[in-house]
Amino acid sequence: MADVGQKETVRLKGTIKKIIFPRVVTTETSWLIAVLAGNTTEVTIKGAMCGIHEKDDIIIEGQWVNDKKYGLQIQVTGWERPIPNTRNQAIDLLSSSVIKGCGPKSAKLIVDTLGDGAIERILRDGAACLRPIRGIGPKSADKIVASLSENFNVQNIIKHLAQYGVTVTMAIKLHQVYKGNAVPVVQANPYELTHLSMVGFDKADEIARNMGVSEDAPSRCQAAVLHVLREYDGHCYAEHDALVRDTLTLLNKRSKNVLGGNVIDSALYYLQKAGKTVTEDGRVYLKTLYEYERMVAARIADLVTTPCPAVSPSRIAQEIVKYQAKHRLILNAQQQEVIYSLFKTNCLILTGGPGTGKSAVIKAVVSIYRQIFPHKMIALCAPTGRASQNLHKTTGYESKTVHRLLNWGVRISEDEGVNPEKARKDELNPLEEDLIEADEWSMADIELASGLLRAIPRGGKVLLVGDPDQLPSVGPGAVLRDMLDSGVIKSVELTEIYRQEKNSLITENAHRVKRGEMIYTVPGRKDFCFIERPDAESTQRTILASVKRLLELGYRPEDILVLSPMKKGIAGVVALDEAIRALVNPPRGDKKELIVGNRAFRVGDVIIQNQRNSVDKGLYNGNMGIVKDIGPDPADPEGSEEGLLCDLWGEEVWLSREDIMDFNFTTGYCITTHKSQGGQAKVVIAPVITNHYMMLTRNILFTAMTRAEEMLILVGQKKAVAIAIKNNTPNLRRTFLAERIRGLVSQRKEGETLLG
């Protein structure tokens, strides 16, 4: 029997026969109690073993302890997975879902060729040992090697860092970012974890504390400053004193000793020296946001002060007459002003509420510009996939996301060499198009605006279209507002509602809300209705009943958009999404499901992408679609990894587990109002209740209402609607863009005067 008192380190090899605790193991599970079955005996083991599942082979190190409840156990201090060294083990690993590009047939072929030590050979020699094998193509060979390398590197990360709280999901991300350097990078500075999208300061701080990092360590203070700057809701900068106060609040939340402002000033000094922050007249910026703001101001000043090619008003008038005759319509005075203005300036802003004919004037602008400049090129774009698709639908012209237009996220393979068509667009590699029309400009944050404007070619024009009464961008900045407030950019507001829209209760009520007036309903009208309910519970029941009735009337799940301003609460996004999914697409024995982390996706689910963009994959933040099937990638016959085969905006896309995690796909039966910007749906249902008092604002209500094409159903209390309409206090973001634009334009005009 083991001598518990000696605390000697024991090393055992075996198979996890049973996990006693916890009952459900996920990628975030870090601490286990399990039964390890060896060749001749079974022992209970406990400790940090992140990523371990039943039937896994494992080698553990630890000491014997006597637990009051479970008796004699081994407290695990370290563990590793053995490299498979038998034929069956090698085939099992290669054909498992963790190895991409390899199915059962390929796995058997590889082991037949390379022998029982195939895994060790692949890890040592890479794709070179696979390429001679007939039936294993170059792409499959690369995928197999990359998957195996990731698998064992992630295990190594977990082995060294799981004891401090690093999970499997974090380990995978660490491997993707730092490769073989992940462990030394985190050991040197655990706050490097905050560069991963899923790790915030609090979690990194917890891990750092477990690693023994002191409370006043420079790395901790600097990471806290950067976290506070990143988390300021939509602001481009922070006032110095407010930044010191908020950072100290964050740091002292978990500090035994109260830290003072001197540690923050020291952190700011070193962050500025390292090129991570900039301080300007008491305004503290992240360096990237500072550069974006300066770039936008400089490019706007370029556009505003650069002369336009002369086009006579009579020629423009002639083309307007011809366009009206061809399309049998009359452009009103405001719409015609847009067309005349476009030929007088290189930067024009077009604003207007719903039903005022913004799409009609965009179509006219594109057509007339082509008539006057037949050899010049035009591009239409929008910040999100949903907004771009809607622009194409309303104008009939091809439209791209800004990311696709600029080639953001396009990967160029080594064998392609220099490929100008795929290279990222900027001032050194500008767009070929001479006129750029950017729709839903209120959604553009400072980074996106900087990226688009810096890529405008010399002599190019931009038409920026948006509605300042919509919600501001999710990311930092208030670009549309600041451009209008600068007072130096020509803008035209459309206010006249089209005749066919005047009879729409959706349009009429949206404009009433915009003017600060109460909504109204008309008995018997189906395009707009308000259903009074006293509380959140009855509001949720009514929304579910409305969805059920709409489905009975022939609407598809993707035709119905349920919007809530908040994520929490019984009428919030999370609860409504779960409840609607249970109604619309409940689990069934014959319906396939795919488990990814703690999420389950099933065939028929409505899904939404919640972060990042990839031009290569055709994935854009805000994408919505339907899960059509679950299975291997149709484009990879040898692949065995299961994923989601989806219809996203009419495009067939296969999503791997990695894609689902990286782009944060979730079910999308209910989404936030913010997420809905730029999109439309046949039917929109939205709760408007006093429980959501924090989010009862005029622009949130207005944005939700203007997403509906055919029918709008508001459910809740008239009191809540009145509160939202009254609450028109602008959420002013801290930016300096308007002032920069004014200053640069003034400087350049003064320079022209002196030169003249």
pLDDT, tens digit, 9 for 90 and up, residues 386-435: 889 889 988 999 999 999 999 986 655 444 444 556 688 999 999 999 99
Vertex 164: Cα angle to 163 and 166 (nearest 5): 90
Q: Are residues 405 and 522 in the same domain?
A: no
| Shared domain check, 320 and 440 | yes
The reply to whether 750 falls in a domain is no
**Domain presence at residue 142:** no
- Give the tens place of pLDDT for each residue, 244-299: 999 999 999 887 778 999 999 999 999 999 999 999 999 999 999 999 999 999 99
- 349 in the same domain as 246: no
Shared domain for 425 and 307, answered yes or no, is: yes
Q: And the tokens for 539?
A: 């509001």
Out of 54, 80, 106, a domain closes at 80
Greater model confidence, 117 or 5: 117
Residue 556 has pLDDT above 80, yes or no: yes
Q: How far apart are CA 11 and CA 45, in angstroms?
A: 12
- Please report the pLDDT score of residue 413 as a whole number: 46
Between 371 and 649, the more confident residue is 371
**Residue type present at position 624:** M
What are 27-80's pLDDT values in tens digits?
A: 556 688 999 998 888 999 998 777 677 888 889 988 999 888 778 899 988 788
Q: Quick check: is 651 in a domain? A: yes
What confidence score (pLDDT) does residue 442 get? Answer: 94
Q: What is the pLDDT of residue 418?
A: 46
Q: Is residue 722 part of a domain?
A: yes
Q: Are residues 251 and 391 in the same domain?
A: no
Q: Do 328 and 444 fall within a single domain?
A: yes
Q: Are residues 227 and 364 in the same domain?
A: no
Q: Is 392 exposed, middle or buried (0-12, 13-18, 19+ CB in 10 A)?
A: middle
Do 360 and 423 share a domain, yes or no? Answer: yes
Q: What average pLDDT does the segment 362-389 reach?
A: 94
pLDDT at 279: 97
Q: What is the pLDDT of residues 97-116, one digit of tens each?
A: 678 778 788 899 999 999 99
Q: In the prediction, which pLDDT does 171 show?
A: 86
Question: Residue 573: inside a domain, yes or no?
Answer: yes
- Tell the burial category of 205 from Cβ atoms under 10 Å away from its Cβ (0-12, 13-18, 19+): buried
pLDDT of residue 101: 77
What are the φ and ψ backbone dihedral angles of 455, each rounded to 5 degrees? Answer: -95, 0
Last residue of a domain, one of 65, 80, 95: 80
| Mean pLDDT of the region 730-750 | 92
- The whole-angstrom distance between residue 693's C-alpha and the CA centroid of its chain comes to 26
Query: Model confidence at 753, in pLDDT bands (50, 70, 90)?
Result: low
Give Cβ neighbours of residue 299 (< 8 Å, ≥ 6 apart). Answer: 450, 453, 454, 456
Q: Residue 591 — φ and ψ, nearest 5°?
A: -100, 120
Q: Which of 84-93, 129-138, 414-423 has the lowest mean pLDDT?
A: 414-423
**pLDDT in the model for residue 250:** 95
Q: What is the pLDDT of residue 730?
A: 75
**pLDDT-based confidence at 513, cuts 50/70/90?**
very high
CB 629 within 8 A of CB 645: yes
Q: Is the pLDDT of residue 441 over 90?
A: yes
Q: Which tens digit of pLDDT belongs to each residue from 232-251?
A: 989 999 999 999 999 999 99
pLDDT at 128: 93
**Residue-range definition of the domain harbouring residue 371:** 298-412+419-501
Distance CA 413, CA 408 (A): 15
pLDDT tens figures, 489-511: 999 999 998 755 568 899 999 99
Query: Residue 540 pLDDT more than 80?
Result: yes
**Can you tell me the distance from the alpha carbon of 739 to that of 751, in angstroms, rounded to the nearest whole number?**
18
Q: What is the CATH number of the domain that holds 429?
A: 3.40.50.300
Final residue before a domain boundary, out of 466, 501, 536: 501
Asked if the model's pLDDT at residue 1 lies above 50, the reply is: no
What rounded mean pLDDT belongs to the chain? Answer: 90
Residue 520, pLDDT > 80, answer yes
155 domain-assigned: no
Higher-confidence position of 406 and 614: 406
Token duo for residue 113: 């060729």
Q: How many domains, the chain?
A: 4
Same domain, 368 and 487: yes
Q: Are residues 555 and 695 in the same domain?
A: yes
Same domain, 495 and 521: no
| Residue 25, pLDDT score | 63
Residue 93 has what pLDDT? 85
537 and 451 fall within a common domain:
no
Q: Which of 87-96, 113-122, 446-455 has the lowest mean pLDDT?
A: 87-96
Q: What is the CATH number of the domain that holds 55?
A: 2.40.50.140
Query: Residue 703 domain-assigned?
Result: yes
Examine residue 447 and state whether it is found in any structural domain, yes or no. yes
